[in-house]
Structure 1
């Protein structure tokens, strides 16, 4: 069953943020993930605070999503992210087909 990583991002340091954006995509692809949404325009229709930058990734399974996040491949990007951005990161299982 597919799994999704939803990230609500607020860039903090523009230089480090661009470095993170350069590092992360190859690690995502290596673990079977792909971008579905990558920071396009968003609009809050109901409730909550104003939307920040939204990124949505799809992985074939929750195990692969978690494996990516905890991987040595993603470690450098993850370390850079600590100073590059603030984010809320959510992992969610998709709906089974049928």
Structure 2
């Protein structure tokens, strides 16, 4: 069953955010993930969404693989770079069977 990372983020430092992406994107692919939405500013249908915040959705084959990616040495390096560059919330969600 697929699993998803839902990202809510605000970029604080564009240069360091670029360094984070350089590390994070290959780590996602290495663990079988793929970006469904990457760094988009959503259009609020109801309520308000801060213009400074972006969203991303990453799909993994299953929750085990997602968690393997999240704790991997590759992504651990990316997280260290991200700390001062991006204010980020991550949600892990299981999808529905096909």
Provide TM-score, normalisation by structure 1. 0.92
Q: State the 1:50 CA deviation.
A: 2.8
The alignment covers a number of residue pairs equal to: 97
Shift of 1:45: 0.8
**Matched-pair contact (CA < 8 Å) for 2:42–2:49:** no
Residue 48 of structure 1: how far off its partner (Å): 4.9
1:7 aligns with 2:7: yes
User: What's 1:45 paired with?
Assistant: 45
Residue 91 of structure 1 corresponds to 92
Aligned partners of 2:95, 2:54: CA distance in 1, in Å?
22
CA RMSD of aligned residues (A): 1.3
After the TM superposition, which of the residue ranges 86-95 and 44-53 deviates more from structure 2? 44-53
Deviation larger for 69-78 or 41-50: 41-50
Deviation at 1:55, TM superposition (A): 0.8
Q: Which runs of 5+ in 2 are unaligned?
A: none
- TM-score, structure 2 normalization: 0.92
